[in-house]
Structure 1
Amino acid sequence: MQSFRSALLLSSSVCFLACTTTHTTPTDRSAAIEAIKHTPDAQPAEIPLYKREFQLDQPYPVPALTPYAGPRKPIKNVILMIGDGMGPAQVTGGLLANRGRLFMQQAQATGFSITQNQYGKITDSAASATAMATGHKTYNSAIGMDSLGHQFRSIMWDAREHGKSTGLVVACELTDATPACFAVTHPTRNDQEAIALKYLAAPIDFMYAGGLRYFTQRQDHADLLLQWRQKGYQVVTKASEVASITGPKAVALLAESGPPAVAERTSAYINQGVDKALEVLSKNKNGFFLMIEGSQIDDAGHFNNTTQNVQEVLDFDQQIGKAFRFAAANGETLVIVTADHETGGYSILGGSAPTGKVAANFATNKHSAVMVPVFAYGVGSELFTGMYENTDIYYRIKKALNWNTTENN
């Protein structure tokens, strides 16, 4: 009997405690969130400061552009600018660093591009560039074709058929994924020597890039530069020779592989390429189609390097300024600025536009599924608002040009 009473008392005590616990006042949600906000984020000591923070000493000026205000003209020129790996946070980092001013801000229309590949997975540069160049989703690593072997011609062929000159200016190898998708078709982006050989039949007039070794130090011992010269192209391999280029049919390969990062390469590299492209391609009375890539924003994301990331975004933005000015001056140019994907899961943790300081973090050293911005300027820019698949870049450009937008075969 005594044992029964003891058990009953124990049971009552447990019940009392349980009931008391159930009715305890819960932690205030707002207070908990405020406490988290004021708890410093842990910064691993092994990550160097330059990879986490950046401060720009001297911002570049971003004067207000005066948009073309004359009679509406048909689109003569298209400049497609791709910031490889440039998501919204990358743009924000550049904005803070340059004291709250970027040329991208002066876009006349903005939108978002959804970048997933054919299978709904995070894209690589090849699949995304194929989508923009041909209007077709595909598998990662594919250059202008799908898993069934269907080959899709790029929009550069359409430009050539309409009598326009074409050009590629990139801060990577000419054989790298993004430029290759606008020039050739191939099952995988990794066969760079095979891609280089296909460039001889590509619909591209002006080429400015790195990757010289894939054209001159080949396993088949072919000299592709000689073959280009035989086709009537001017070919240069030194920055000092670029000024000698006079016509749209030209190849400038200025690095054995990819050009170095912006901090090591001279600012003249991309400046010189964009300037020369606009100079020689605009000689064509029928206009031109030019693709410019800020290639190494992506590198900085893979390296989880905030300093390089901001530097590359600012380098790219200054070229955007040139393209916007060109469009504002003639009223017959459409400029589209976007990205193939976001790289690094980049986030801005702090910063100050008055001081030009950026503090950032990376969630991964790979690509992410984040949507990327689209900025458009000039005649036809109104077509690029909204949220849409990256294949729509291709179809909206063709619509702006009043080209046939039926399925690309």
Structure 2
Amino acid sequence: MSYTIFEDGHISSPHGFRATGVSCGLKDGSRARDLALIYSLHPCKVAAMFTTSVTRAAPVYLSQAILSRNREAIRAVMINSGHANAGTGQAGLTDAVECAKLVADELEIQRDAVMLMSTGIIGVPLPMPKIRDGIRRAVSELDSGGGRRAAVAILTTDTKPKERVYRVQLGEGHRVTLAGMAKGTRMIHPRLATMLCMITTDLAIDQHLLAQSLSHSVGRSFNRLNLDGDCSPNDTVMILANGAAEGPPITDAGSRAFAAWQDALNQLCYELSQQIVRDASNGGKIIQVTVRGAPDEEYARKVCDVVARSSALRAACMRNTPDWGTLLAAIGSSEVELRPELLELRIGHVVLMLEGLPCAFDQAMALQLFTSPEIDFMIDMHLGPAEATVLTCTWAEE
């Protein structure tokens, strides 16, 4: 392992980053921080992944447009909570453009060097007078220790901030810092949903490799969450790399340095996604569904998703009832081609079905596993080499 946890780190811990979070009254009746700003003293390589919803929010549309023409010199990201600026039409896009313009002008940087994220209520226009005041104050309060304030400012229904920071050793004398913060509890579905993640690093890296590494990590972390099956118009995962750390840039995907970087980024995204699902469960249960032996990954993911969304299976888990028939029923409704005589089902280490037939198993142990706050289901189709894993959860009110 080439990385260690930086216990007191935050989003502005990498060299050359500044951040803050301020309150400008975007959350009705609350003085909570609701506008975050992250700024780099140096131009940043950027990579991002966005929601696949066809009803993209204005900040997603604008950030995608900026990314299409500037992937090498981003300087700032503004994130507001309380208002999603989604379902707001042309007026919402005009407001998003004004937000980016004001940030750029206040920081005295190029206008296409600012990215945006928003989260909150859909279909409500941004209160621009409050936003304008908040941006001005955020710019005046930027500092290298302001990352915690930023992590708090992006929260909506979350119960706590979600952060992780690593020191990453890429080679002898070559160490970088990797920091991430995220928000999200409900409306989280594969291919992203109401979930935001901001990542910063002082690594110097080729932009194409940065995008490649982010896609790889998101595919094995955030895109494996399916908490309630709903997809939001705002989701964004973004990484900024400003190259401020000492050491040579990463330009070769086959290098040891890139492998060490990928390992650390994978773990960072995984840790943040775990924090999201644990916050979302909040009194409920965490359920992991793994499908093995599938012909391809798409097949495995389809079965995972159907099982994760099964209301009957979720109810059995919440009632502490070892009714594994609900698992079999969910698999049968996935509409994939399968061979029932090959099917193998497990909960934890307990085999429930083998070669399509039910097995005698320890009922007390099965009950104990269904009663656990974390439940693992394994489905082996015995049809090929592919597999996939999806995390979901139940809630106390289900």
- Structure with more of its chain in strand, by fraction: 2
With normalisation by structure 1, the TM-score equals 0.26
With normalisation by structure 2, the TM-score equals 0.26
